[in-house]
Amino acid sequence: MSRRQRLASLLHQTGVMRAALALRSSMPSPWLSVLTYHRFPSPSGQDLFDDEVVDVTPECFERQIVALKKHFTLVGVDELCAFAAGRLLPPNAVAVTFDDGYLDNYEIALPILKRHGAKAVFFLSTGCIGERRMYWWDRVAYIVKRTPVSQIKLTYPFPVEFGLANRPLALERILRLMKTQPGLDLERFLDELAHAAEVAWSQKIERTFAEQLLMTWDHVRELHRAGMDVESHTRTHRVLDTLPPADLEDELAGSRADLAREVGVPARALAYPVGNALGRNSPIRAAMVQAGYEIGLSSNTGSNPLNGPVDRFDIRRQAVGLNLSEAYLLAMLTLPSLAHKHPGQLAAD
């Protein structure tokens, strides 16, 4: 257990946390916290895909929702947009968000949320859902986990080698390249990667995995009917600041059009793929306005203080790491200064 986790447990056991929570519920909330989840562990325990997006077990998520319902007010996109426009939030506001559109959001998270009368916001990469395409990080993870070679040599986008003695490190290096290379032709890169890694890949294989991993539009419509917010996470989850203007417009406006067509939802919020906050002068701000978004959410960027100006295109969020104790979650929401920037890294704290 990390020092911060131990401190959170101590505060919990000694009643300090209870007193802080009681105090907080009796006065206006000094900050807004937005939590980010992605997916649950594979039931078989044998995950073929990217382990880094596994945030929470079903049991832990249910305990967290019960604790959140007890001590906080769960809010959705209406309240987030009102907050960004300068209006007051309900007391002790917290938003629960899920990124990407994994099938287990529908199969596991939705029944838990319904059981406890809780609300969440689901950010969806609409092109992947509609066209049954795997998320690119899962495709890369599958290749790196399955490859029989000891080194992957690529020529595109430049000559580069990835040694596989440490596969998690190789995966991280490949994903870093994909997240930062301007104008990357994603399909070309992924095809070359599978070929160099000697891992069989085809549209049929991709579709089979996509059916296992992703929600369908029917699932999304059901989320919406159940009172959940469904919003945009672009079309294909490209990192926005690596894209040329035409692709940027397709990712932003195209995703809103997909949601309007399939669910009848005029999306107002976008969660940035990989979560990078926008710079003050980023051209992406103008593209967000042009596409019709009211707010943008970053990741791993902390909580939002209520006593200063709000940047509507940088609503900050806090990641929920796997095995995060309830005590730590409550501490992180009640006393944000206790919170680590990335709870998933707490084990090394």
- Residues in the site for Zn ion, rule: CB under 5 A? 99-100
Which of residues 317 and 340 has its CB atom nearest to Zn ion in the complex?
317
> Which residue, 141 or 196, is less far from Zn ion as judged by CB?
141
Residues 78-93: b if buried by 16+ CB within 10 A, e if exposed: ebbbebbeeeebeebb
Give the residue with the Cβ less far from Zn ion, 16 or 177: 177
Question: Closest distance between Zn ion and the C-beta of residue 100, in Å?
Answer: 5
Cβ closest to Zn ion, residue 268 vs residue 317: 317
Q: For residues 344 and 5, what is the distance between their CA atoms, to the nearest angstrom?
A: 12
- Cis amide prior to 91 (ω within 30 degrees): no
- Rounded Cα distance, 208 and 198, in Å: 19
Assess contact for 149 and 197: CB atoms under 8 A. Answer: yes
To Zn ion, the closest distance from the beta carbon of 329 in angstroms equals: 21
Measured torsion, CA atoms of residues 128, 135, 286, 284, in degrees rounded to the nearest 10: -160
- Which stretches of the chain are DSSP H helices? 3-13, 16-25, 58-71, 77-84, 103-104, 110-115, 126-131, 136-146, 167-180, 186-197, 203-213, 217-225, 245-263, 283-291, 326-334
By beta-carbon proximity to Zn ion, the closer residue of 61 and 272 is: 272
- Least separation in angstroms between residue 273's CB and Zn ion is 5
Give the separation between CA 242 and CA 34, rounded to whole angstroms: 26
Give the nearest distance from C-beta 341 to Zn ion in angstroms.
Answer: 18
Query: What number of other Cβ atoms are within 10 A of residue 340's Cβ?
Result: 18
Which token pair is 257?
């059009």
Give least dist CB 211 to Zn ion, A.
19
Q: Any bridge partners for residue 214, and if so which?
A: 102
**Beta carbons of 322 and 54 less than 8 angstroms apart:** yes
Nearer to Zn ion, 24 or 39 (CB): 39
Distance in Å, CB of 97 to Zn ion, minimum: 10
CB-based contacts of 205, cutoff 8 Å, min separation 6: none
Tell the smallest beta-carbon distance from residue 14 to Zn ion (Å): 38
When the beta carbons of 64 and 300 are compared against Zn ion, the nearer one is 300
* Least distance from Zn ion to the Cβ atom of residue 214, Å: 12
State the residue number with the nearest CB to Zn ion: 99
What distance in Å separates the CA atoms of residue 35 and residue 299, rounded to the nearest whole number? 9
Query: How many angstroms separate the CA atoms of 112 and 252, rounded?
Result: 31
Closest distance between Zn ion and the C-beta of residue 203, in Å? 23
Residue number, 312 or 317, with CB nearest to Zn ion: 317
**Which of 95-114 are b and which e, b meaning 16 or more Cβ less than 10 Å from the residue's Cβ?**
bbbbbbbbbbbbebbbebbe
Closer residue to Zn ion (CB): 99 or 231: 99
